[in-house]
A = this chain, B = another copy of it.
Protein backbone atom coordinates (compact mmCIF):
# COMPACT_ATOMS: atom_id res chain seq x y z
CA UNK A 1 0.00 0.00 0.00
CA UNK A 2 1.70 3.20 -1.08
CA UNK A 3 0.97 6.54 0.47
CA UNK A 4 1.60 9.72 -1.48
CA UNK A 5 2.23 12.73 0.76
CA UNK A 6 0.47 15.74 -0.78
CA UNK A 7 0.68 18.34 2.00
CA UNK A 8 2.71 18.96 5.13
CA UNK A 9 2.33 21.83 7.59
CA UNK A 10 3.94 22.23 10.98
CA UNK A 11 1.21 22.89 13.54
CA UNK A 12 1.52 23.31 17.31
CA UNK A 13 4.92 21.65 17.29
CA UNK A 14 3.60 18.62 15.40
CA UNK A 15 2.63 18.03 11.78
CA UNK A 16 -0.55 18.21 9.74
CA UNK A 17 -0.14 16.00 6.69
CA UNK A 18 -2.36 14.88 3.83
CA UNK A 19 -1.94 11.63 1.93
CA UNK A 20 -3.42 10.12 -1.22
CA UNK A 21 -3.71 6.35 -1.52
CA UNK A 22 -5.56 3.71 -3.51
CA UNK A 23 -8.41 2.27 -1.46
CA UNK A 24 -9.16 -1.37 -2.19
CA UNK A 25 -12.39 -1.13 -0.22
CA UNK A 26 -13.71 1.84 -2.16
CA UNK A 27 -12.17 1.13 -5.55
CA UNK A 28 -10.84 4.67 -5.97
CA UNK A 29 -8.09 7.01 -4.83
CA UNK A 30 -8.73 8.59 -1.46
CA UNK A 31 -7.19 11.45 0.50
CA UNK A 32 -6.98 11.61 4.26
CA UNK A 33 -5.45 14.08 6.70
CA UNK A 34 -3.49 13.19 9.81
CA UNK A 35 -2.30 15.32 12.68
CA UNK A 36 0.82 13.96 14.34
CA UNK A 37 1.43 15.68 17.68
CA UNK A 38 4.97 16.43 18.87
CA UNK A 39 4.93 13.26 20.97
CA UNK A 40 4.87 11.20 17.75
CA UNK A 41 8.59 11.85 17.37
CA UNK A 42 9.36 9.90 20.54
CA UNK A 43 8.81 6.59 18.74
CA UNK A 44 6.13 5.61 21.26
CA UNK A 45 2.80 4.57 19.73
CA UNK A 46 0.02 7.06 20.36
CA UNK A 47 -3.76 6.66 20.52
CA UNK A 48 -5.78 7.82 17.53
CA UNK A 49 -9.00 9.79 17.28
CA UNK A 50 -10.82 9.28 13.98
CA UNK A 51 -12.93 12.25 12.91
CA UNK A 52 -15.77 11.90 10.40
CA UNK A 53 -16.99 15.09 8.76
CA UNK A 54 -20.45 16.01 7.58
CA UNK A 55 -22.19 16.43 4.24
CA UNK A 56 -20.18 18.25 1.52
CA UNK A 57 -16.96 18.15 3.57
CA UNK A 58 -13.55 16.67 2.79
CA UNK A 59 -10.58 15.78 5.00
CA UNK A 60 -9.78 19.50 5.26
CA UNK A 61 -12.70 21.13 7.10
CA UNK A 62 -12.00 19.74 10.55
CA UNK A 63 -8.24 20.21 10.35
CA UNK A 64 -8.60 23.86 9.29
CA UNK A 65 -11.54 24.99 11.41
CA UNK A 66 -11.97 22.98 14.61
CA UNK A 67 -8.95 24.19 16.53
CA UNK A 68 -8.23 20.61 17.56
CA UNK A 69 -4.47 20.48 17.00
CA UNK A 70 -3.74 22.62 20.04
CA UNK A 71 -5.35 20.03 22.30
CA UNK A 72 -4.03 17.04 20.37
CA UNK A 73 -0.53 18.44 20.86
CA UNK A 74 -1.16 18.86 24.57
CA UNK A 75 -2.77 15.44 25.02
CA UNK A 76 -0.54 13.42 22.70
CA UNK A 77 -3.36 12.29 20.41
CA UNK A 78 -3.09 11.53 16.72
CA UNK A 79 -6.14 12.72 14.75
CA UNK A 80 -7.12 11.15 11.42
CA UNK A 81 -9.73 12.77 9.17
CA UNK A 82 -10.85 10.81 6.10
CA UNK A 83 -12.85 12.20 3.22
CA UNK A 84 -16.65 11.86 3.42
CA UNK A 85 -17.24 9.60 0.42
CA UNK A 86 -15.49 7.81 -2.41
CA UNK A 87 -14.41 10.28 -5.10
CA UNK A 88 -13.33 10.45 -8.69
CA UNK A 89 -14.65 10.15 -12.21
CA UNK A 90 -15.26 6.41 -11.82
CA UNK A 91 -17.50 6.92 -8.75
CA UNK A 92 -21.14 7.73 -9.56
CA UNK A 93 -22.55 10.80 -7.82
CA UNK A 94 -26.03 12.14 -7.30
CA UNK A 95 -27.92 11.92 -10.61
CA UNK A 96 -29.41 15.37 -9.91
CA UNK A 97 -26.16 16.92 -8.72
CA UNK A 98 -27.49 17.42 -5.18
CA UNK A 99 -25.16 17.89 -2.21
CA UNK A 100 -26.87 15.42 0.13
CA UNK A 101 -26.16 12.24 -1.84
CA UNK A 102 -23.19 10.76 -3.67
CA UNK A 103 -19.87 12.61 -3.63
CA UNK A 104 -19.37 14.19 -0.21
CA UNK A 105 -22.32 12.21 1.17
CA UNK A 106 -21.27 8.60 1.69
CA UNK A 107 -23.12 8.29 5.02
CA UNK A 108 -20.41 5.94 6.33
CA UNK A 109 -22.33 2.79 5.39
CA UNK A 110 -21.80 -0.13 3.01
CA UNK A 111 -24.15 0.27 0.06
CA UNK A 112 -25.90 -2.84 -1.22
CA UNK A 113 -27.64 -1.45 -4.30
CA UNK A 114 -26.18 -0.94 -7.78
CA UNK A 115 -24.56 1.27 -8.92
CA UNK A 116 -23.58 2.46 -5.41
CA UNK A 117 -22.45 -0.87 -3.96
CA UNK A 118 -19.28 -0.90 -6.08
CA UNK A 119 -17.69 2.12 -4.35
CA UNK A 120 -19.84 3.35 -1.47
CA UNK A 121 -18.41 1.26 1.38
CA UNK A 122 -17.29 4.02 3.72
CA UNK A 123 -18.07 1.99 6.86
CA UNK A 124 -15.57 -0.71 5.97
CA UNK A 125 -13.08 1.92 4.86
CA UNK A 126 -13.31 3.92 8.08
CA UNK A 127 -13.53 0.97 10.46
CA UNK A 128 -11.09 -1.47 8.80
CA UNK A 129 -8.95 -0.28 5.90
CA UNK A 130 -8.01 3.16 7.17
CA UNK A 131 -7.01 2.11 10.72
CA UNK A 132 -4.92 -0.73 9.29
CA UNK A 133 -3.19 1.76 7.04
CA UNK A 134 -2.64 4.24 9.88
CA UNK A 135 -1.34 1.65 12.31
CA UNK A 136 1.07 0.23 9.71
CA UNK A 137 2.51 3.56 8.57
CA UNK A 138 2.47 5.90 11.58
CA UNK A 139 3.34 5.64 15.28
CA UNK A 140 -0.29 4.80 16.05
CA UNK A 141 -1.50 2.32 18.62
CA UNK A 142 -4.74 0.35 18.40
CA UNK A 143 -6.33 2.57 21.06
CA UNK A 144 -8.98 4.19 18.87
CA UNK A 145 -11.64 6.79 19.50
CA UNK A 146 -14.15 8.05 16.99
CA UNK A 147 -16.07 11.30 16.62
CA UNK A 148 -17.76 13.33 13.96
CA UNK A 149 -20.20 16.04 12.97
CA UNK A 150 -23.72 15.72 11.57
CA UNK A 151 -23.55 12.90 8.95
CA UNK A 152 -20.13 12.15 10.48
CA UNK A 153 -21.65 12.04 13.96
CA UNK A 154 -24.03 9.41 12.66
CA UNK A 155 -21.05 7.61 11.14
CA UNK A 156 -19.12 7.69 14.41
CA UNK A 157 -22.02 6.41 16.49
CA UNK A 158 -22.82 3.62 14.03
CA UNK A 159 -19.17 2.61 13.68
CA UNK A 160 -18.83 2.26 17.45
CA UNK A 161 -22.18 0.53 17.97
CA UNK A 162 -21.58 -2.01 15.16
CA UNK A 163 -18.03 -3.00 16.06
CA UNK A 164 -17.67 -3.77 19.77
CA UNK A 165 -14.07 -3.81 20.90
CA UNK A 166 -12.86 -1.60 18.07
CA UNK A 167 -13.14 1.80 19.82
CA UNK A 168 -12.60 2.89 23.40
CA UNK A 169 -14.53 6.15 23.19
CA UNK A 170 -17.09 7.84 20.99
CA UNK A 171 -18.52 11.34 20.74
CA UNK A 172 -20.41 13.46 18.26
CA UNK A 173 -21.40 17.01 17.41
CA UNK A 174 -24.98 17.43 16.17
CA UNK A 175 -25.19 13.85 14.85
CA UNK A 176 -27.95 12.52 12.62
CA UNK A 177 -29.31 10.27 15.35
CA UNK A 178 -32.20 8.52 13.66
CA UNK A 179 -31.59 8.53 9.90
CA UNK A 180 -34.40 6.12 9.03
CA UNK A 181 -36.84 8.83 10.10
CA UNK A 182 -35.28 11.97 8.60
CA UNK A 183 -35.21 13.29 4.99
CA UNK A 184 -31.41 13.10 4.60
CA UNK A 185 -31.40 9.50 5.80
CA UNK A 186 -34.45 8.44 3.82
CA UNK A 187 -32.99 9.79 0.59
CA UNK A 188 -29.57 8.20 1.13
CA UNK A 189 -30.69 4.87 2.58
CA UNK A 190 -33.37 4.26 -0.07
CA UNK A 191 -30.70 4.54 -2.74
CA UNK A 192 -27.65 3.01 -1.04
CA UNK A 193 -29.61 0.22 0.70
CA UNK A 194 -32.80 -0.13 -1.35
CA UNK A 195 -36.44 0.40 -0.53
CA UNK A 196 -36.72 -2.40 2.04
CA UNK A 197 -36.66 -0.37 5.24
CA UNK A 198 -36.02 -3.41 7.42
CA UNK A 199 -32.43 -3.34 6.14
CA UNK A 200 -31.94 0.27 7.19
CA UNK A 201 -32.02 -0.48 10.93
CA UNK A 202 -28.44 -1.72 11.04
CA UNK A 203 -27.27 1.79 10.07
CA UNK A 204 -29.33 3.79 12.56
CA UNK A 205 -27.81 4.67 15.95
CA UNK A 206 -31.16 5.02 17.70
CA UNK A 207 -32.10 1.49 16.60
CA UNK A 208 -28.66 -0.09 17.03
CA UNK A 209 -28.15 1.14 20.57
CA UNK A 210 -30.92 -1.01 22.03
CA UNK A 211 -28.92 -4.17 21.34
CA UNK A 212 -25.33 -2.88 21.41
CA UNK A 213 -23.26 -5.17 23.64
CA UNK A 214 -20.68 -2.54 24.62
CA UNK A 215 -21.01 0.50 26.89
CA UNK A 216 -18.63 3.20 25.67
CA UNK A 217 -18.16 6.69 27.12
CA UNK A 218 -20.55 8.61 24.87
CA UNK A 219 -20.60 12.42 24.70
CA UNK A 220 -22.86 14.40 22.35
CA UNK A 221 -23.06 18.18 21.97
CA UNK A 222 -26.03 19.69 20.15
CA UNK A 223 -26.77 23.37 19.57
CA UNK A 224 -30.34 24.39 20.31
CA UNK A 225 -30.32 26.94 17.45
CA UNK A 226 -29.23 24.33 14.93
CA UNK A 227 -31.57 24.71 11.95
CA UNK A 228 -31.45 20.94 11.32
CA UNK A 229 -32.24 19.94 14.92
CA UNK A 230 -35.89 18.98 14.65
CA UNK A 231 -36.11 17.76 11.07
CA UNK A 232 -32.83 15.90 10.55
CA UNK A 233 -30.90 15.27 13.78
CA UNK A 234 -33.38 14.11 16.45
CA UNK A 235 -31.04 13.55 19.41
CA UNK A 236 -34.04 12.85 21.65
CA UNK A 237 -34.58 9.61 19.73
CA UNK A 238 -31.13 8.47 20.70
CA UNK A 239 -31.56 9.59 24.28
CA UNK A 240 -34.86 7.75 24.47
CA UNK A 241 -33.27 4.54 23.21
CA UNK A 242 -30.04 4.82 25.20
CA UNK A 243 -31.50 5.08 28.68
CA UNK A 244 -33.49 1.81 28.81
CA UNK A 245 -30.54 0.00 27.22
CA UNK A 246 -28.29 1.17 30.04
CA UNK A 247 -26.01 3.44 28.02
CA UNK A 248 -24.51 6.43 29.82
CA UNK A 249 -25.18 9.00 27.14
CA UNK A 250 -24.14 12.54 28.03
CA UNK A 251 -26.25 14.70 25.67
CA UNK A 252 -25.58 18.40 26.19
CA UNK A 253 -27.94 20.92 24.62
CA UNK A 254 -25.85 24.06 24.04
CA UNK A 255 -27.91 27.24 24.17
CA UNK A 256 -27.60 29.54 21.18
CA UNK A 257 -25.27 27.39 19.07
CA UNK A 258 -25.90 26.44 15.44
CA UNK A 259 -24.63 23.69 13.11
CA UNK A 260 -21.37 25.42 12.12
CA UNK A 261 -17.71 24.87 12.90
CA UNK A 262 -17.93 27.81 15.32
CA UNK A 263 -20.04 25.45 17.45
CA UNK A 264 -17.58 22.58 17.03
CA UNK A 265 -14.57 24.76 17.88
CA UNK A 266 -16.31 26.02 21.01
CA UNK A 267 -16.58 22.53 22.50
CA UNK A 268 -13.85 20.50 20.81
CA UNK A 269 -11.68 20.73 23.94
CA UNK A 270 -14.25 18.82 26.00
CA UNK A 271 -14.44 16.12 23.33
CA UNK A 272 -10.70 15.66 23.03
CA UNK A 273 -10.38 15.41 26.79
CA UNK A 274 -13.28 12.89 26.82
CA UNK A 275 -11.42 10.74 24.29
CA UNK A 276 -8.01 11.17 25.89
CA UNK A 277 -9.33 10.00 29.23
CA UNK A 278 -10.52 6.73 27.69
CA UNK A 279 -7.68 6.29 25.21
CA UNK A 280 -4.84 6.95 27.62
CA UNK A 281 -6.24 4.79 30.45
CA UNK A 282 -4.19 1.62 30.37
The size of the chain A interface, using a CB distance under 8 A, is 22
Give the contacts of A4-25 with B (CB-CB under 8 A).
9-13, 16
Nearest residue (CB) in B for A254 is B10
Give the Cβ gap from A135 to chain B, nearest Cβ, in Å. Answer: 25
A261-B67 contact given A10-B266, A13-B266, A266-B10, CB 8 Å threshold = no
A9 partner residues in chain B, CB cutoff 8 A: 258, 260, 262-263
A265-B225 contact given A65-B64, A67-B70, CB 8 Å threshold = no
A-B contact pairs, 30 of them (CB 8 A): A9-B258, A9-B260, A9-B262, A9-B263, A10-B223, A10-B256, A10-B257, A10-B258, A10-B262, A10-B263, A10-B266, A11-B262, A11-B263, A11-B265, A11-B266, A12-B265, A12-B266, A13-B266, A16-B262, A64-B64, A64-B65, A64-B261, A65-B65, A67-B67, A67-B70, A67-B265, A69-B262, A69-B265, A69-B266, A70-B265
